[in-house]
Structure 1
């Protein structure tokens, strides 16, 4: 069983902001694999289904970004999911828009959602799928809570579809195969 977590903040005011690109990616995966995210439990919204013959749970924590790990820990403990089968999709300001990077472990890189998950799971060993949202020109908070420009929306749609494909590759083959295939991806 795999847990696919999209990080973001609940509420209309955060929809489609840079910080919510993880929620957007999980929505694309949900649509592509016909998995309804319609249950509320574990401090999040979730749904169960199958991707490439594997049982998966899609999760959007409703705790706000800084406490995302609480939701992840609750669902991991309930379903007894190995941390290596947890895939977390989130925004990365150190990657340009249209890029994605996959890693199997590492530090939080200053991302509070990842910091919370590492703390709550007690390990850095879970798959991260980082989606580029570009560097802040001025204030970091207003950057990540801001929306993408119309010009960037095209690249974002492509990278969200690639994130869904990368997730499938991680599940069906391995994170390493997905890294080789997608870490050089750039949406044009």
Structure 2
């Protein structure tokens, strides 16, 4: 069984913000595989289902970003999931272009508070992660204001494509094709010419 957790902040005011792309990828997976993510457990909204023949639990922690690890730790313990091979965490990354992906098997938090919380709660930096690019913060912008801001119309289209690619990447990871997924998605994508 796999836990696929998308990071974000609950409540309407954060819907559609850069920081909530993890939730948006979970919604994309839920729609694609007909999984209802509406059960409350361990301070998260979860949904159980099948993706590519694998039992999965889709998770949207409701603890707010900075405490994401508390909810995920509790679910990992409850479902006796091996976090190093059966946990996939999806979250926003300001160092990647809008809609670009980067897949990692381990690593530091890189300044991301949600990941910091997960590293601290799990006590390991080895777990699969899909970073979804939200574009670099413009100079003079406060990072918190930027990630809690909304996408432009054009960026929304690029993000939709990014969510679909992230969902495709999830199925590759579930099938053990981590290296192939990294080779396919970790390349820099040139922005489309206008």
Hey, what does 1:150 align to over in structure 2? Answer: 153
Hey, what does 1:174 align to over in structure 2? Answer: 177
Counterparts of 2:136 and 2:164, CA distance in 1? 22
Hey, what does 1:119 align to over in structure 2? Answer: 120
Hey, what does 2:36 align to over in structure 1? Answer: 36
RMSD: 1.1
Counterparts of 2:81 and 2:180, CA distance in 1? 21
Counterparts of 1:105 and 1:80, CA distance in 2? 20
- Where do 5+ consecutive residues of structure 2 fail to align? none
Counterparts of 1:67 and 1:24, CA distance in 2? 19
Q: What are the residue-to-residue correspondences of 1:96-115 with 2, within 5 Å?
A: 96-115=97-116
CA drift at 1:151: 1.2
Compare 176-185 and 127-136 and name the one that shifted more.
176-185
Hey, what does 2:143 align to over in structure 1? Answer: 140
Counterparts of 2:126 and 2:18, CA distance in 1? 25
CA drift at 1:72: 0.2
CA drift at 1:98: 2.2
CA drift at 1:185: 6.4
Counterparts of 2:31 and 2:89, CA distance in 1? 18
- Where do 5+ consecutive residues of structure 1 fail to align? none
Hey, what does 1:69 align to over in structure 2? Answer: 69
Q: What are the residue-to-residue correspondences of 1:16-95 with 2, within 5 Å?
A: 16-84=16-84, 85-95=86-96
Q: TM-score, normalised by structure 1?
A: 0.97
Q: TM-score, normalised by structure 2?
A: 0.94
Q: How many residues align?
A: 188
Deviation readout 1:66-93 (Å, 9 max, x if unpaired): 0000000000000000012110000000
Counterparts of 1:31 and 1:78, CA distance in 2? 25
Counterparts of 1:114 and 1:165, CA distance in 2? 22
SS across alignment from 2:126 = coil
